[in-house]
A = this chain, B = another copy of it.
Amino acid sequence: MKLQQWVKQYQLGLLFQQGQFGLEKESQRIDDKGNIVTTPHPRVFGNRSYHPYIQTDFAESQLELITPPNAKLEDSLRWLSAIHEVVLRSLPENEYIFPFSMPAGLPPENEIQEAQLDKQEDVEYREHLSKQYGKYKQMVSGIHYNFQLSSEFVKAIFLLQDEYAHLKDFQNALYMKLANNFLRYQWILVYLLAASPTVEANYFSRNDVLNFPLKEGQLVRSLRSSPYGYVNSSNVVVNHDNLENYVETLEFQVKSGHLIAEKEFYSNVRLRGSKKARELLEKGVQYAEFRLFDLNPLEPYGISLDDAKFIHIFLLGMLWLDETSGQKEVELGKQRLYQVSLEDPREQTAFREEGEAILSQIIDMLKIINADERAVKISEEKLAQLAEPSLTVNGKLLKAIEQEGNYKALGVKLAKQYKAQAFKRFYALSSFDNMELSTQALLFDLIQKGVTTEILDENDQFLALKFGEHLEYVKNGNMTSHDQYISPLIMENKVVTKKVLSKAGFNVPKSLEFTSIEQAVAHYALFEGRAVVIKPKSTNYGLGITIFKQGVTHRDDFVKAIEIAFREDKEVMVEDYLIGTEYRFFVLGDETLAVLLRVPANVIGDGKNTVRELVEIKNSDPLRGDGSRSPLKKIALGDIELLQLKEQGLTPDSVPQAGQIVQLRANSNISTGGDSIDMTDNMHESYKQIAVGVAHAMGAKVCGVDLIIPDLTKQAEPSLNSWGVIEANFNPMMMMHIFPYQGKSRRLTKNVIKMLFPDIEI
| A interface with B by C-beta (< 8 Å) | 10-15, 152-153, 156, 370, 454, 456-457, 460, 462, 464, 471, 473-475, 479-490, 493, 495-496, 499-500, 503, 518-519, 521-526, 528, 699, 730
Beyond A460-B493, A499-B464, A526-B152, whether A699 also contacts B481 by CB under 8 A is yes
The answer to whether B13 touches A456 (Cβ under 8 A) is: no
Nearest B residue to A495, CB-CB: B457
The answer to whether B526 touches A493 (Cβ under 8 A) is: no
Beyond A486-B480, A486-B481, whether A500 also contacts B456 by CB under 8 A is yes
The answer to whether A456 touches B499 (Cβ under 8 A) is: yes
Beyond A15-B526, A464-B500, A495-B456, whether A483 also contacts B480 by CB under 8 A is no
Residue among B370, B496, B503 making CB contact with A460, cutoff 8 Å: B496
CB distance from A329 to the nearest CB of B (A): 31
CB distance from A164 to the nearest CB of B (A): 18
Chain B neighbourhood of A484, CB < 8 A:
480-485
CB distance from A557 to the nearest CB of B (A): 15
The answer to whether B475 touches A479 (Cβ under 8 A) is: no
Nearest B residue to A529, CB-CB: B159
CB distance from A201 to the nearest CB of B (A): 53
Residue among B10, B474, B486 making CB contact with A474, cutoff 8 Å: B486
CB distance from A289 to the nearest CB of B (A): 25
The answer to whether A457 touches B496 (Cβ under 8 A) is: yes
The answer to whether B486 touches A475 (Cβ under 8 A) is: yes
Beyond A457-B495, A457-B496, A493-B462, whether A370 also contacts B503 by CB under 8 A is no
CB distance from A537 to the nearest CB of B (A): 15
Q: What separation, in Å, do the CA atoms of A705 and B519 have in the docked complex?
A: 50
The answer to whether B485 touches A15 (Cβ under 8 A) is: no
Please list 23 pairs of residues, one from A and one from B, whose beta carbons are closer than 8 Å in the complex, sorted by A's number: A14-B522, A15-B522, A15-B523, A15-B526, A456-B495, A456-B496, A456-B499, A456-B500, A462-B490, A464-B503, A473-B490, A473-B496, A475-B486, A475-B489, A479-B489, A480-B484, A481-B486, A481-B487, A481-B699, A483-B484, A483-B485, A484-B485, A485-B730
Residue among B471, B482, B485 making CB contact with A481, cutoff 8 Å: B485
The answer to whether B490 touches A488 (Cβ under 8 A) is: no
Q: What separation, in Å, do the CA atoms of A503 and B481 have in the docked complex?
A: 17
The answer to whether B486 touches A370 (Cβ under 8 A) is: no
Interface centre among A12, A14, A521, A699 (most CB of B within 10 A): A14
Question: Given A15-B525, A462-B489, 8 more contacts at CB 8 Å?
Answer: A10-B525, A11-B521, A15-B522, A152-B525, A473-B490, A479-B489, A480-B485, A483-B484
Nearest B residue to A153, CB-CB: B525
The answer to whether A486 touches B479 (Cβ under 8 A) is: yes
Nearest B residue to A485, CB-CB: B483
Q: What separation, in Å, do the CA atoms of A10 and B529 have in the docked complex?
A: 14
Chain B neighbourhood of A483, CB < 8 A:
484-486
Chain B neighbourhood of A14, CB < 8 A:
519, 522-523
Q: What separation, in Å, do the CA atoms of A442 and B528 have in the docked complex?
A: 42
Chain B neighbourhood of A496, CB < 8 A:
456-457, 460, 462, 473
Chain B neighbourhood of A152, CB < 8 A:
525-526
Chain B neighbourhood of A523, CB < 8 A:
14-15
Chain B neighbourhood of A490, CB < 8 A:
462, 473
Return the 9 tightest CB-CB contacts between A and B, nearest first. Answer: A483-B485, A14-B522, A481-B484, A456-B496, A156-B525, A481-B486, A475-B489, A473-B486, A12-B525
Interface centre among A454, A471, A518 (most CB of B within 10 A): A471
Q: What separation, in Å, do the CA atoms of A528 and B14 have in the docked complex?
A: 15
The answer to whether A500 touches B522 (Cβ under 8 A) is: no
Chain B neighbourhood of A471, CB < 8 A:
503
Chain B neighbourhood of A487, CB < 8 A:
481, 485
Q: What separation, in Å, do the CA atoms of A493 and B525 have in the docked complex?
A: 51
CB distance from A373 to the nearest CB of B (A): 14
Chain B neighbourhood of A462, CB < 8 A:
489-490, 493, 496
Chain B neighbourhood of A11, CB < 8 A:
521-522, 524-525
Q: What separation, in Å, do the CA atoms of A740 and B485 have in the docked complex?
A: 28
Chain B neighbourhood of A480, CB < 8 A:
484-486
Chain B neighbourhood of A457, CB < 8 A:
493, 495-496
Q: What separation, in Å, do the CA atoms of A153 and B525 have in the docked complex?
A: 8
Q: What separation, in Å, do the CA atoms of A460 and B489 have in the docked complex?
A: 10
Q: What separation, in Å, do the CA atoms of A410 and B483 have in the docked complex?
A: 57
The answer to whether A699 touches B12 (Cβ under 8 A) is: no
